[in-house]
Amino acid sequence: MKSDGVFKQDEKDCLYIYSQTMNGRTQYGIVGCASVDDYMNDIIKKHELTRPDKEEDRKNHVRVGNMNAEPVFFAYPNVPALDAIVAAVVKNTPEYDLITDDGIGHTFWVIDDSAIVKQISDLFAKVPFTYVADGHHRTAAAALVGKEKREANPNHTGNEEYNFFLAVHFPDNQLHIMDYNRVIKDLNGMNKEQLLEKLAESFTIEEKGDTEFRPSKLHEFSMYIDGNWYALTAKPGTYDDNDPIGVLDVTILSKKVLEPLFNIVDLRKDKRIDFVGGLRGLGELKKRVDSGNMKVAFALYPVTMKQLIDIADTGQIMPPKTTWFEPKLRSGLVIHSLE
């Protein structure tokens, strides 16, 4: 693609604005390079564990291509001065403006004015931390390949392109985390009545019939079983609002339902549980249970950006399959060469 002229190297350092529009809502990200040093020094904060096999797969991708072709998805604490710059840039004609097959709009502006590039960089220098929202494996791979390259270069200066990797930075107040729900293959030897009886120890239960029920607040859950929806409200004492992990609904579900009632302890490895991203809706939960493939489904209220940042700031790790970000970043709009 480089030799065919599909991709062209910018003649000078640029930043870019990348907007995504889904269901009438638009979020604006700043595309630029993040620092390998910031990743190693925890200036870029994480909230998920990574798996070595998945890391290695993505590292090979970066090593062989010698480029970052897939940007990572970062959040940063909202800065009004940056918002003002972005608002001014997007009044101009975009470089790309397209709607992909999934109905999501992608619009892209190039910032090649060196004064504006410097202004943005200077403002970012004052941002204390950025946060990996989505793409922990890609982030780790990009940073670790950069580290490998510096260790292999006896003339390393710190200014080489491998010291940086491609990221899209979104202000935290524009991001929307969707629910990440659970479906379970069997009732672990219980029937529905026994399950409801055991759930009543930790939850107030209200039957909702065959009408879809979506949780509307923290500590409220939805359950679908045998053609019926139920509202489950966690009772006081089942959660700890002062603990960034203990307050999470995924923690409540694991500690009060999945572990004691279903004997599902390791969410990463247990084959009796599956996960359904919120984009697929409650209808997907109903479909999976009605098909007989799964016995029961649980829908959760989405995690907030504040919860994500609180966990990352305290150095803790979210339980697996907690956050689902939409829309996803498109690869290939901009590429960062490590050469």
- Predicted local confidence at residue 281, as pLDDT: 87
Q: Is 277 found in the same domain as 248?
A: yes
pTM beyond 0.85: the answer is yes
Query: What are the residues whose beta carbons fall under 8 Å from the beta carbon of 109, sequence distance 6 or more?
Result: 16, 17, 89, 90, 92, 94, 95
Q: How many domains does the chain divide into?
A: 2
- Closest CA relative to residue 140, chosen from 162, 116, 159, 165: 165
- Closest CA relative to residue 187, chosen from 282, 292, 276, 291: 292
Q: Is 248 found in the same domain as 114?
A: no
Q: Is 289 found in the same domain as 150?
A: no
- Predicted local confidence at residue 191, as pLDDT: 97
Q: Is 187 found in the same domain as 147?
A: no
Residue 60 is assigned to a structural domain of this protein: yes
Residue 86 is assigned to a structural domain of this protein: yes
- Predicted local confidence at residue 241, as pLDDT: 87
Both tokens of residue 323? Answer: 């956050």
- Predicted local confidence at residue 279, as pLDDT: 78
Task: Give the residue numbers spanning the domain of 64.
Answer: 15-176+324-337
Q: Is 151 found in the same domain as 81?
A: yes
Residue 170 is assigned to a structural domain of this protein: yes
Q: Is 36 found in the same domain as 103?
A: yes
Q: What is the dihedral of CA 64, 69, 74, 79, to 10 degrees?
A: 130
Both tokens of residue 180? Answer: 């990440």
- Closest CA relative to residue 299, chosen from 210, 205, 206, 231: 231
Q: Is 240 found in the same domain as 151?
A: no
Q: Is 137 found in the same domain as 199?
A: no
| Exposure on the CB side of residue 293, measured as CA atoms within 13 A | 10
Residue 120 is assigned to a structural domain of this protein: yes
pLDDT in tens, 38-83: 999 999 999 988 888 899 999 999 999 999 999 999 999 999 999 9
- Check if the beta carbon of residue 281 is closer than 8 Å to that of residue 288: no
Q: Is 293 found in the same domain as 231?
A: yes
Angle, helix 52-65 to helix 136-152, in steps of 10 degrees: 60
How far is it, in rounded angstroms, from Cα 124 to Cα 118? 10
SS (H, E, C) 143-160: HHHHHHHHHHCCCCCCCC
- Alpha helices, H only, the chain: 36-40, 52-65, 80-89, 114-125, 136-152, 192-199, 249-253, 259-262, 281-290, 305-313
Matching residue, tokens 């994480």: 46
Query: What are the residues whose beta carbons fall under 8 Å from the beta carbon of 136, sequence distance 6 or more?
Result: 46, 48, 49, 50
- Predicted local confidence at residue 51, as pLDDT: 82
Residue 4 is assigned to a structural domain of this protein: no
Q: Is 95 found in the same domain as 185?
A: no
- Predicted local confidence at residue 339, as pLDDT: 87
Residue 55 is assigned to a structural domain of this protein: yes
The stretches in the chain having pLDDT less than 50 are: none
- Predicted local confidence at residue 194, as pLDDT: 98
Q: Is 110 found in the same domain as 41?
A: yes
User: At 15, which amino acid appears?
Assistant: L
CA angle 207, 213, 215 (to 5 degrees): 105
